[in-house]
A and B are shown apart, each in its own frame.
Chain A
């Protein structure tokens, strides 16, 4: 019961007439790796922005690490780490400096800072590059540094918005190896969005498929595959079944253009 680290109840976000997230309800257990799948404009990023307190919900509620995202936003921020989809480390600073600033902002005790930063660099396999300017890093190194930065304060929940987008398969594997280690070593709960179904399949405990702002399906990979009935369904088939496309299901031209406008606004 107290094992639930993330509890979302009827969470809704509207942009004008368009409902980006529509009465979302789900819960995530401590230490779980949880993936949010869905086609573009399904409401994944909007959900993450609400859970990380960047965007106030229109209605509904969510508790992260026991704190309300609406009334206890600062406590939520102390308990989470966030890796946005876009690059979030500063290219004009070194890797070490990027970590140092967050060590200071999160009030890590003075005498622990250096040790924590050293550990974080080592953990993400960046020890040799800590003193280099981040604008000389490769894409995979940037992502690993971002993860190091957002986990320096040992958050209970780490939110990642498409953590491996734009990375080659080797860099993606490296990022995931470190994410899995984080969970194993520190019990960090991982909540992430992705378009790569095989990542969800390989690393997730549970998956939610979002479609038009709602949860279309939720469960373990096996449960989702079994839910289609019959044998041998792949996650790809599950995804197409639940997420479909806007034109195949309830969507029409208006909702698609509204989605794109929102995607543009969010981007």
Chain B
């Protein structure tokens, strides 16, 4: 009985990793992408962060402002890269690639999650960039290996979450033009309605409520706890992980449901 349960699960994971593997094989050919991705976090940390830190306008408690926003900028750059991931899916649909994968016996959820994971692993370059920039501006980072490992896990999960969200949008709008519009409309609100660049304590009541419904808030909270020396979580790390994991699972299930619509 356990065997019949285990096999579909291992089979599912195996297929998921096959999809991830091949998405990553394509990376060899877009190194330019990795370079251009470094620009935005650099602007936020070196320009925006420096100026706001000097102004002293933000009250971030015992943590200096630059330290405060470094994890927020990492979360933001992961979000910004992941949210446009769906454009690739639309591209693959305009060719016949999506159709061909859907006509194969691969579980739909493995197709969706495999793509999500690949976005997750790609976004690790963002983590490396933000760590480099943080060193440059003197953020006090936590170099405990276990904390670093948790940063890797949270970044991969966050990118999986938001790229799957992006895939769902792609399944609904189906064209590149509409997708770009929707993507742009979503990213800024998600970013500003989170604790990425200011603490939720500074927010008006309504925004605080919105930010607590925003998965990005929990990503930032977890990253802030693991990245900074001597920082504590606002919500509790297990709560952060629970929200992130549960949201990802729900989005993958929705994505698996909607993905076949791309072949129509």
- Asked whether any CB of chain B lies closer than 8 Å to the CB of A54, the reply is yes
A250 within 8 A of B: no
Q: Is A106 an interface residue (CB 8 A)?
A: yes
Give the complex CA separation of A97 and B105 in angstroms.
19
User: How many Å lie between the Cα of A101 and that of B101 in the bound state?
Assistant: 10
Q: Which of B59-67, B89-97, B140-148, B199-207 contacts A (4 or more CB under 8 A)?
A: B89-97
Q: Which residues of A contact B15 (CB under 8 A)?
A: 104-105
Is A261 located at the chain interface by the 8 A CB criterion? Answer: no
| B100-A84 in contact (CB<8A) | yes
Are the CB atoms of A88 and B104 closer together than 8 Å? no
Which of A77, A85, A92 is close to B104, meaning CB atoms less than 8 Å apart? A77
B100 and A82 within 8 A (CB): yes
CB-defined contacts of B21 to chain A, threshold 8 Å: 101
Q: Does A125 contact B (CB under 8 A)?
A: no
Q: Is the Cβ of B260 less than 8 Å from the Cβ of A54? A: yes
- Which residues from A are CB-within-8-Å of B22? 90, 93, 97, 101
Count residues on chain B whose CB falls below 8 Å from chain A CBs. Answer: 23
Could you tell me how many residues of chain A have their Cβ less than 8 Å away from some Cβ of chain B? Answer: 31
Whether a CB of chain A sits under 8 angstroms from the CB of B13 is no
Contact B103 A80 (CB under 8 A): yes
B99-143 vs A, CB cutoff 8 Å, 1 = contact: the mask equals 111111110000000000000000000000000000000000000
Least CB distance, B257 to chain A, in whole angstroms: 13
Provide the main secondary structure of the chain B interface.
helix
Q: Residue B25 at the A interface, CB < 8 A?
A: yes
A226: interface (CB < 8 Å): no
Decide yes or no whether A12 CB sits under 8 A from chain B: no
In angstroms, Cα B264 to Cα A85, docked, is: 13
Contact of B103 with A97 in the complex, beta carbons under 8 Å: no
- List, in ascending order, chain B residues with CB within 8 A of A52's CB: 103
Complex formed: what's the CA distance from A77 to B104 in Å? 5
Of A90, A104, A150, the residue contacting B97 (CB under 8 A) is: A90
B26: chain A residues at CB < 8 Å are 90, 92-93
| CB proximity of B24 to chain A, nearest CB, Å | 11
B54 within 8 A of A: no
How far is B22's CA from A77's CA once the two chains are assembled, in angstroms? 21
B260 / chain A contacts, CB cutoff of 8 Å: 54
- A92-B26, A97-B25, A101-B22 known; A54+B99 contact, CB < 8 A: yes
Instruction: Name B263's contact: one of A55, A78, A90, A150 (CB within 8 Å).
Output: A55
Q: Which 3 A-B pairs have the closest CB atoms?
A: A84-B96, A88-B96, A86-B96
Known contacts A82-B103, A89-B97, A106-B105; 15 further A-B pairs (Cβ under 8 A): A53-B103, A54-B103, A55-B263, A77-B103, A77-B104, A77-B105, A78-B105, A85-B96, A86-B99, A92-B26, A92-B29, A101-B21, A102-B104, A104-B14, A105-B101
